[in-house]
Structure 1
């Protein structure tokens, strides 16, 4: 697929608004890693949060239907944002895009009809009024594209360009699987990190997320990564060797920042 900007669909209009609320748990880039997802959802602060925002790339992995069922069990507390993986699933399922490798064909095919409809309903972005932080915009890549990389190394000039069309001073993104919290000029740029496939310096078996309100807490949760690797192997994931390696020996943040900032648009 050629790299281009993939922003809100023409029919979406303004981002849906929620709140005010006291606490928001942010879980991004789950990639259908159910052991990690269940461990984070069992955290007391997540269970007590007013909303749980899933900031894109929920189902691109070994068990899409399981991930969807788990999120649906949260009822109205769950708010989902479309990632580039959800876009891929829709495009491949509808024939708008021909898979370029076996895994691109395999993952969408593991989505049941209900899961396809569910991920197809995700909006590009949402805004939540969080007490203590004010209006917070959530999007997977950037406010202008689901595949634009935002990292701790994103230059102020590009950050200003990508946020020129939004009013909120707090922006929460995903996509890069890097956890960070930084100020760029007058705006705050936050990434909760990845629940299912994080890039970090720590030992394997950690899921990354964030708790918003009244300030920002960057959090981690330990889980049994061996269970996730076994599930990938048992399912016959065509990318099992690469995914297992990333789970057990993650790329470093420095590597990802360098690659992402050079490419900017990463699908």
Structure 2
């Protein structure tokens, strides 16, 4: 049984945001650091992977759709990725990075004190790019969670870059938000589990981070990328409007 688990999701290759969270005392002291996917598709992909790998067995890795897409792109299984920065990020990765990402599971369960058995995944337990939101219909939530084992007491997912906690037919669902590409408010968002649930936000010097990322990354559009995402210029309303059609609500009666 793990006493404390820090959940870091959607880092998207932003090293200063990751470093700010890793410096948090609760993260340093956590029994495990669980990464719920979309780790490296961003401006500093190799630096982020090397930093996380240096932490050893304390880190539990889970693949996200963006991680899968980078592997597929580099292995010739796809010739494009919708996210403009992703093909560039894929080309930066070493062979050992590709092998690491290719081995990652889509989900994992861990026992956490106070919460019971917790299932960690990227988007939903059954798919790495499905969309469910804090205000998705209950029948949509029941659909995407229908295959979850009965002994699971909580599900942790990422993918939509906005933190929330909600109850679905007795099952707790937690989204820690995003470390590197937050929507709605700036900062690096993560969660601390055990014995309760804490949605945390780590503040750091955004302007210094923008400068660091811009100087460190060779992505051609890096100045615009860093300014937009590190300042969280997409509001939560913008994100919810953009994601909403993908959670099935447009087909609701």
Q: Fold-level match, TM-score > 0.5?
A: yes
8 Å CA contact retained: 2:107, 2:120: yes
8 Å CA contact retained: 1:62, 1:231: no
Distance 2:220 2:18 in 1: 22
The structure 1 residue matched to 2:162, chosen from 172, 178, 198, is: 178
- Note the 1:239-254 alignment, pairs <5 A: 239-240=221-222, 241-254=224-237
The structure 1 residue matched to 2:137, chosen from 155, 177, 183, is: 155
TM-score by length of 1: 0.86
Distance 2:123 2:202 in 1: 23
Higher-helix-fraction structure: 2
For 1:161-200, what per-residue CA distance to the aligned partner results, in whole angstroms no more than 9, with x for missing partners? 1111112131100000001111122111110010111112
8 Å CA contact retained: 2:158, 2:175: yes
8 Å CA contact retained: 1:35, 1:224: no
Counterpart position of 2:174: 190
Q: Give the stretch that moved more between structures: 41-50 or 256-265.
A: 256-265
Distance 2:225 2:46 in 1: 22
Counterpart position of 2:20: 39
Counterpart position of 2:42: 61
- Note the 1:181-220 alignment, pairs <5 A: 181-200=165-184, 202=185, 204=186, 206-220=187-201
8 Å CA contact retained: 1:153, 1:257: no
Counterpart position of 2:208: 227
TM-score by length of 2: 0.91
- Note the 1:1-267 alignment, pairs <5 A: 20-100=1-81, 103-167=85-149, 168-200=152-184, 202=185, 204=186, 206-234=187-215, 235-240=217-222, 241-264=224-247
8 Å CA contact retained: 1:32, 1:58: yes
SS at match of 2:120: strand
In structure 1, the gaps of 5 or more residues are: 1-19
For 1:87-116, what per-residue CA distance to the aligned partner results, in whole angstroms no more than 9, with x for missing partners? 111100100000257633211001111111
